[in-house]
Amino acid sequence: MEKRIIKDLSADELAAAMAAMGEERHRAVQILKWLYQKGAASFAEMTNLPRDLRERLDERFVVTAPRLVESIRSGADASQKFLLETADGALVETVLMEADGHRTICVSSQAGCALGCSFCRTGEGGFERDLASGEILDQVLFFKKSGYLPPRRRFNIVFMGMGEPLLNMRNLAAAIGILNLEAGFGLGEKRITVSTVGIPDRIRELAATDLRFSLAVSLNATTDESRRRLMPGSRDLGDTLAAAREFARARRARVTLEYVLIAGENDSDEDAGRLAALSSGGPFKLNLIPFNEWDGCEHRRPGEDRIERFIGLLLPTAPAVTVRRSQGRDIGAACGQLRCRRLSRG
C-alpha cells in the first residue's frame, strides 16, 4: 500500500481516516496536536496513542518535513529568507519578518508561479507545481520547530510568497482549515492574510466558506490596460473590485488593496486620483509598497518625493492608507530570488 502524507489531510479527512480504521474521533484531535502543536516527526513520538494504532498509522501514512537548503538574513532589519526543499525536490521560499515585536511568516502556495508579473522574480523562474497543503503547513512548522517562533507567542501568516494562492484552492483551503483549528495552529482571521492578484469567482467562492482569514488584493494599477502590462495574469479590474466588496460584505471586514509603487508605471498624479476614486467609500484599506528593486528587473523604485506626493494626493479621499517600506531590501526580498539563483546554478 502506498503511504499517504498525513499532513495533506484536512481535519475532516483525518477524522474519516480514523473512523475507517475503527478508531474514535478524538484520536484525530490527538494526532493533529502532535503534528502541529508539538511538531512530531514520526508516529512513534505520539506516546498517548496505543502502540498498535501507532504501528497501523505507520503502515498507512508518512510524516514528511522539508530540508533547509539555504538561508539569508537581512543586515538592515530582522527579516530572514529560507529556501526549503520538498520530498520530491521542489524548491520553496519562505520568509520570516519581524517588526515591532510581531513575527510574520510569508508562505508560498506554489513552487514557482505561472502569472508572470513583471515586478516579481518568482514569475521569471516559471511554474513548477502546486504545493500540497502539508507542504504549505510545513513552512510554518519549519519555523516553529527550529526555534524561530518563541513558544506561546502569537504570529501572523501571510500568503504572499511564491505562487497565486487562489489557483491552488483545494490545498489553500485545507491549509487554512488547519491554521484556524484549535487543535492545529489556532489562528483567526486577524492572523492570516491571503494575498491574490484577484480571481473574482474564487474570491466569491471563498467568501461563502467558514474559513477565517483576511483578504488582500494586489491591485498595482488603476486601469485594466496598465494592470495587464504589469500583471498579465490579472482579471477584469471592475469585477475584481466587485468580488472584493462582496467578500468584505460577507465577512463584515475590510479588504486590503495592495499597490506596489513603480516609477513611471503607476505613480503619476493621475494614478493617485484614480486610486482614490476606486477605493473611496468602499470597504477597503490601502497598502502602498514602494517597489523593491532586484538585479535584472527594469522597474525602479520612485524617489521619496514622488512617494510622499502620491500619498498626499490619496489622503483626502482614500480610505486608511499605510505604507510598507519593504523589509529585507538588502537580501532581495522580492519573492523567488533564492529559488531562481538555485535553478540557474542547475
Q: Can you tell me which of 10, 94, 122, 214 binds ligand SF4, judged by CB under 6 A?
A: 122
Instruction: Using the rule CB under 6 A, give the single segment among 113-121, 150-158, 207-215, 314-322 that binds ligand SF4.
Output: 113-121
Q: Taking the complex as a whole, how short is the minimal distance between the CB of residue 220 and ligand SF4, in angstroms?
A: 9
Active site residue 120: no
Check 106, 113, 335, 340 and give the catalytic one: 335
Q: How many Cα atoms occupy the beta-carbon half-sphere of 234 within 13 Å?
A: 25
Q: How far apart are CA 322 and CA 314, in angstroms?
A: 11
Listed ranges 114-122, 206-214, 266-274, 338-346: which one lies at the site for ligand SF4 (CB under 6 A): 114-122
Instruction: Please give the Cα distance from 83 to 264 (Å, whole number).
Output: 33
Task: State the virtual CA torsion across 147, 63, 140, 122 in degrees, nearest 10.
Answer: 120
**What is the Cα–Cα distance from 237 to 245, expressed in whole angstroms?**
12
User: Could you say which of 83, 113, 192, 286 contacts ligand SF4 (CB under 6 A)?
Assistant: 113
The secondary structure element, H or E, covering residue 190 is none
User: What is the maximum alpha-carbon separation in the chain?
Assistant: 69
Helix (H, G, I), strand (E, B) or coil at 272: helix
Counting residues that bind ligand SF4 (by CB under 6 A) gives 12
Strand partners, 5: 62
* 120, 157, 194, 206: residue in contact with ligand SF4 (rule CB under 6 A): 120
Are residues 104 and 158 in contact, defined by beta-carbon separation less than 8 angstroms?
yes
Query: In the complex with ligand SF4, which residue's Cβ is closer, 163 or 302?
Result: 163
> CA 330 to CA 72: how far, in whole Å?
10
Cell of 170: 483545494
**By the 8 A CB rule, do 54 and 42 touch?**
no
**Residue 83 and residue 303: Cα distance in Å, rounded?**
31
Per CB under 6 A, 197 contacts ligand SF4: yes
Contact characters 5-44, ligand SF4, x per CB under 6 A: ----------------------------------------
Closer Cβ to ligand SF4, 232 or 319, answer by number: 232
Which of 39, 116, 282, 319 touches ligand SF4 (CB under 6 A)? Answer: 116
- Distance (Å, whole) CA 297 – CA 56: 52
335 is catalytic: yes
What residues from 137 to 176 belong to the interface with ligand SF4 (CB under 6 A)?
Answer: 162-164
Counting contacts by CB under 6 A, is residue 117 touching ligand SF4?
Answer: yes
Contact at 8 Å (CB) between 69 and 83? yes
Residue closer to ligand SF4, measured from CB, 36 or 127: 127
Task: Say which residue the cell 523562474 belongs to.
Answer: 125
Q: Which positions from 60 to 99 touch ligand SF4 by CB under 6 A, shown as an x/- string? A: ----------------------------------------
The residue range among 83-91, 117-125, 186-194, 274-282 that interacts with ligand SF4, by the rule CB under 6 A, is: 117-125
Among 23, 93, 124, 258, the active-site one is 93
Alpha-carbon distances, residue 182 vs 41, 61, 148 (angstroms): 20, 23, 21
Minimal distance, residue 226 CB to ligand SF4, in Å: 15
Residues acting as catalytic residues = 93, 335
Residues at the contact surface with ligand SF4, assessed by CB under 6 A? 113, 115-117, 120, 122-123, 162-164, 197, 335
